[in-house]
Amino acid sequence: MSRELQSISFLASSTPAAQEAARRLSVLYGNDKPENAGVIVALGGDGHMLNTLHRFMGTGVPIYGMNKGTIGFLMNEYREDGLRERLAAATQNVIHPLTMTAIDAEGNTHDALAINEVALFRQSYQAARLQIAIDGIVRLEELVCDGVMVATPIGSTAYNLSAQGPIIPVEAPLLALTPVSPFRPRRWRGALLPNHQTVEIVVLEPDKRPVNAVADATEVKSVRKITIRESATDTGLILFDVEHSWDERILAEQFRY
């Protein structure tokens, strides 16, 4: 069945503006249950879009966002007219999330997926001391910093960009390894990694300098070791209007000044 004939499910964030938009759009286009829909339309901001992508990861159902939040980098412009035609013409990108496996101070193992990034942050006033290995080979014996992250292409324009990390085209087979406020080595600005490589980070002096790990909205406190790799099995689908595709957003962001 062609996309414009598929049923639509509107999922709105809790804000009044998003809830009102869902009500109006439901009158115009109907509102199927999410489990029966061919397309999910997420109404809200980037946070709501990430939550929706997580919820439908691996289902094969594409997610089309319309901005009823603030920045809305992952969202399309909110318009009520011609929605079925926009859905039919939209470009589709495949998202490959990261898997995080974190071991905490009690020896417990925590697994989570991250669409944007997996990040480590110092938990106290003292800087973190981290050792970084790529595919089992230690590449950085000691990084003293506020934190470090591994970002996906879709997450490269989020926190990664704020930390001066590189912007990555969505189809590029790369991950960004980006430090946050590095103190030593002071000139290290991170690395671009092939997306098939595995990043292992060991927290040095974890009792004196505790570190938390965050995979999107999932946080693990007092981690000792963390392993990050691109998932080989989990995928999500995101839709963008042709005139404002992800490639266009990436290009525009790189020429901002």
188-197's contacts with Cβ under 8 Å and 24+ in sequence apart are: 188/140, 188/143, 189/164, 190/165, 190/166, 191/139, 192/166, 192/168, 193/134, 193/150, 195/96, 195/230, 196/230, 197/134, 197/135, 197/229
Q: How many Å apart are CA 214 and CA 94, to the nearest integer?
A: 23
Q: Is 247 annotated as a binding residue?
A: no
Residue 257, marked binder: no
Q: CA dist 112 to 123, 125, 230, Å?
A: 20, 27, 12
Following CA atoms 17, 20, 21, 26 in sequence, which dihedral angle do they give, to the nearest 10 degrees? 160
- Cα Dmax for the chain: 59
143 is in an annotated binding site: no
Tell whether 245 is in a known binding site: no
Q: Is 36 annotated as a binding residue?
A: no
159 is in an annotated binding site: yes
**Does 146 carry a binding-site annotation?**
yes
Residue 116 marked as a ligand binder: yes
Q: What counts of helices (H) and strands (E) characterise the chain?
A: 5, 17
Say whether 154 counts as a known binding-site residue: yes
Q: Is 157 annotated as a binding residue?
A: yes
Q: Contact at 8 Å (CB) between 134 and 210?
A: no
Residues paired with residue 175 on neighbouring β-strands, in sequence order: 193
Question: Which residues are identified as catalytic?
Answer: 46
Nearest to 75 by CA among 89, 64, 86, 85: 64
Q: How many CB atoms lie within 10 A of CB 244?
A: 14
Annotated binding-site residue? 215: no
Do the annotations mark residue 234 as ligand-binding?
no
What is d(CA 166, CA 8) in angstroms, rounded to the nearest whole number? 35
Contact 47, 76 (CB under 8 A): no
Which residue positions form the known binding site? 46-47, 116-117, 146, 154, 157-162
Which residue positions form the known binding site for NAD(+)? 46-47, 116-117, 146, 154, 157-162
